[in-house]
């Protein structure tokens, strides 16, 4: 069986990211039991704990050497004050935008227009991504788990809260990804695959799918063929704009933007956001 096309994967198109066909994949159920309920515990993290870590820094002042009237050398700064003021203003705008998203994750009552404006500010800020991967996927397996909160169309023209429980787990150490859609007692659809990371781009390839209906045991469908190549920008990918210990913001290959809230699995199928 041939490899699935990127456009059919969950969370990679907008609006309404689609569920893969039977020839595609999602989570790594071998890492946990399907027979025991899954719960996520709220992570005790102060609001904006990690926000400042990723903010832009004021540029280092440029210097220029000159001679005074007595022939002595002096050094003066040539960095325009306006540049520093612009950086400080952008940092403040990013902080306020992060607050908006965290409030939206907590209450699901923030207007879509406010969320779209906050996402726009964060995308344009081009924050330092050097610690994004470790924050997203942890330093050791099984990595970190994130619940999808809000999805926006291309160019951030419209968006909405995601209506069902959709959870992703990123494992930076093992370079693995799990995606899942959970429908309570009705069952779940989970996919498993591998990832690669380049600066701020996380590409992924799904390898198998697990399906569970009601109380019955899950069954696995492996994708045809063996493909051990490294995921690349020819595959589905996310471009990450912001990640701290509480929320993450990224754009998919098709141009849709979304944000997630961090959650922690305990056992079973139920998930609880950190708020």
Which domains does the chain carry?
A: 7-263 (2.40.128.280)
pLDDT at 271: 73
Please choose, from the candidates 111, 112, 174, 120, the residue with its C-alpha nearest in 3D space to the C-alpha of residue 143. 174
124 with 156: CB under 8 angstroms? no
Computed over its alpha carbons, how large is the radius of gyration of the chain?
22
Distance CA(81)–CA(61), nearest Å, equals 9
Distance CA(105)–CA(275), nearest Å, equals 8
pLDDT at 60: 55
Element (H, E) at 238: strand 237-243
Per-residue pLDDT of the chain (275 residues; tens, 9 = 90+): 444 444 334 444 344 444 444 344 333 333 333 333 333 333 333 333 445 555 665 555 554 554 455 555 454 545 567 778 888 888 999 999 999 999 999 999 999 999 999 999 999 999 999 999 999 999 999 999 999 999 999 999 999 999 999 999 999 999 999 999 998 889 899 999 999 999 999 999 999 999 999 889 889 999 866 678 899 999 999 999 999 999 999 999 999 999 999 998 755 666 777 77
148 with 180: CB under 8 angstroms? no
Handedness of CA 103, 90, 135, 156 (dihedral sign): positive
pLDDT at 82: 73
pLDDT at 68: 53
Helices 81-107 and 112-125 meet at what angle, rounded to 10?
A: 140
Please choose, from the candidates 8, 7, 16, the residue with its C-alpha nearest in 3D space to the C-alpha of residue 166. 16
- DSSP class of residue 50 equals T
Strand partners, 260: 148, 248
pLDDT at 45: 35
pLDDT at 54: 58
3-state secondary structure of 1: coil
Please choose, from the candidates 245, 242, 261, 258, the residue with its C-alpha nearest in 3D space to the C-alpha of residue 147. 261
pLDDT at 84: 81
Strand partners, 242: 249
């Amino acid at each position: 069986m041939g490899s699935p096309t990127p456009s059919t994967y969950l969370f990679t198109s907008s609006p309404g990211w689609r569920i893969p066909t039977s020839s595609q994949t999602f989570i790594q159920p071998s890492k946990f039991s399907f027979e025991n309920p899954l719960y996520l515990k709220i992570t005790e993290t102060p609001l904006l704990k990690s926000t400042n870590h990723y903010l832009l820094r004021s540029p280092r002042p440029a210097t220029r050497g000159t001679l005074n009237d007595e022939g002595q050398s002096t050094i003066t700064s040539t960095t325009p004050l306006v540049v520093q003021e612009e950086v400080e203003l952008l940092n403040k705008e990013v902080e306020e935008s992060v607050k908006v998203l965290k409030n939206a994750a907590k209450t699901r009552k923030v207007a879509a227009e406010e969320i779209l404006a906050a996402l726009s500010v964060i995308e344009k800020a081009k924050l330092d991504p050097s610690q994004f991967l470790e924050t997203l996927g942890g330093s050791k397996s099984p990595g970190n788990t994130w619940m999808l909160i809000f999805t926006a169309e291309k160019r951030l023209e419209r968006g909405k809260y995601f209506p069902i429980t959709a959870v992703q787990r990123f494992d930076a150490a093992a370079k693995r990804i799990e995606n899942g859609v959970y429908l309570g007692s009705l069952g779940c659809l989970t996919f498993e695959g591998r990832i690669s990371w380049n600066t701020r781009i996380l590409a992924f390839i799904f390898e198998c799918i697990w399906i569970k209906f009601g109380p019955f045991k899950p069954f696995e469908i492996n994708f045809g063929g063996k493909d051990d190549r490294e995921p690349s920008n020819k595959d589905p990918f996310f471009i990450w704009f912001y990640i701290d210990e509480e929320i993450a913001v990224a754009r998919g290959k098709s141009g849709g933007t979304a944000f997630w809230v961090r959650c922690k699995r305990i056992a079973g199928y139920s998930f609880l956001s950190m708020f």
